[in-house]
Structure 1
């Protein structure tokens, strides 16, 4: 198949593109950065350089494809450190751009990288943006066949805790404890999308993606051992304290509130309500493997 994909050379986009090409597909990879064109082409893909907020660009990138892999590109809406950016409106506009261009090009096979929590718009914070996208895409006629990929929390999100580990000797969040929660490796997401791209499309389908279920306490112990800090703790703070920390670092007010609410939904289990009714087979990449990668980055 001819496939137009998003994700540029990121943790999902790069391995996904390689696997799709290996599986015999012709891939056009969208990136907003012209400097990545050479590396994209070196992988054997065609580079399409532009922004997803430009429907004329999207139409050119999609034209002639048999299938598309879509995702939400936060950076296309603005900086997470800019209080003036309205990310919710940005995601809704992005969704309508996708719908418009899909109708214009007639591409019927669609995969959208959504998220856990997208089954609802209530009580899940910033993840409701993906719910909005799913709802807009669901307004496409029934002939458009859509697979919604809903990964759980990424292992790589824990890299954001490196500064607090170094400064405070702890991972600091407004969720935690001994209850096991699902986490996922980007490589497992890429592999699942590649597999789904090569399998039958029918109607509207949802696929949850997870690698391993592990508690916050176990995460701290595993990462602490990997980085040579066996005393590493996972410290749980209040929602208000978490919000204050995010705002003190300059994060957009809307996003700060949205991320705190999202993590509160992790803490109270609301986030996982639909996941546990549709629990997937675990992926191949276990947390101990990620811990080695984490240690390499931590020690750089």
Structure 2
């Protein structure tokens, strides 16, 4: 039995689909079954409840051979890091009580930092909590910056002509990755279950990019060859995030994350190799997905 948390998200849905296609029994954790009709119709079991509820998760993880563990974003919580830690504690308790032998967790570049890493802080905490479960075999997928995060820049781009949204300096290299590639790596790990101990695996996209390069690629796809990246000052970016609907807590965490990108801390310790390089390019994403989203929003 495979249990997939965050099953309605960018990585959870394709992971569950790939496991089902391989003939595996899958239980998906959701807040509402209506978001997962396709997977349920394909044979997935649905466990409906909150990832912050350890009693619910203990029951949902019963009989699991492996768990895909994720802390979904929560844009409305007044204490984002506190929310992350509650989910991490509930996930860990359910794995420990049920003596689940395998787990794959979605982590991030920057999880090696003990603190001051913004939205990654909860992933650092989750890695540490899972590593403390004595007999658990776990792989932490430290993924790069999602291509899909660029969707949040479409509104401002259409309204003002500016590609912006994150206070990241344009010349800072960063690993960017498609979430489908993260899901493919996770699914392969879950199907093989050939890992031991507590390990980290980077999922880093095809190459590192600066946001100046991102703007060139996006501009070419959208027919805006003169498009450039605009990095707002931290205070202006924070205000814009809050205006767009983020809580102050989450906006503060995003700003701190961007500070770690700008000072080089986020990429510390990473060395690109064939194992952590994934195939989908930003050029493909921009042509096939970002253009469609730009045209329909």
Q: Name the SS for the 2:120 alignment partner.
A: helix
Over 3 Å counting, the alpha-carbon distance change for 1:250 and 1:26 in structure 2 is closer
1:167-201 C-alpha deviation (Å, 9 max, x unpaired): 22111232132443210001100000011111412
**CA deviation digits over 1:84-126, x for unaligned, max 9?**
x212122222222122212221111111111111112333122
Counterpart-to-counterpart distance in 1, 2:111 and 2:222: 34
Alignment deviations for residues 224-274 of structure 1 (CA, whole Å, 9 cap, x no partner): 121222222211222222122223334211211110111121122110002
TM alignment of 1:66-145, pairs within 5 A: 66-75=65-74, 80-81=75-76, 85-141=78-134, 143-145=135-137
In the TM superposition, residue 162 of structure 1 has moved relative to its aligned partner by 0.3
Aligned partners of 1:65, 1:54: CA distance in 2, in Å? 18
What is the root-mean-square deviation of aligned Cα atoms in Å? Answer: 1.9
Quick one: structure 1 residues 100 and 153, their matched pair in 2 at CA, closer, same or farther if it must change by over 3 Å?
same
TM-score, length-scaled by structure 2: 0.92
Counterpart contact for 1:165–1:171, Cα < 8 Å: yes
Structure 2 residue 22 is the aligned partner of structure 1 residue 17: no
CA shift for structure 1 position 155: 0.2
TM-score (norm 1): 0.91
From 146, 153, 173, give the equivalent of 1:154: 146
Check conservation: 2:163, 2:230, Cα contact below 8 A: yes
Contact 1:117 1:274 in 2 (8 A): no
1:57 Cα deviation after fit: 2.0
Specify the alignment match of 1:52 in structure 2.
51
Unaligned runs of 5+ in 1: none
Aligned residues: 292
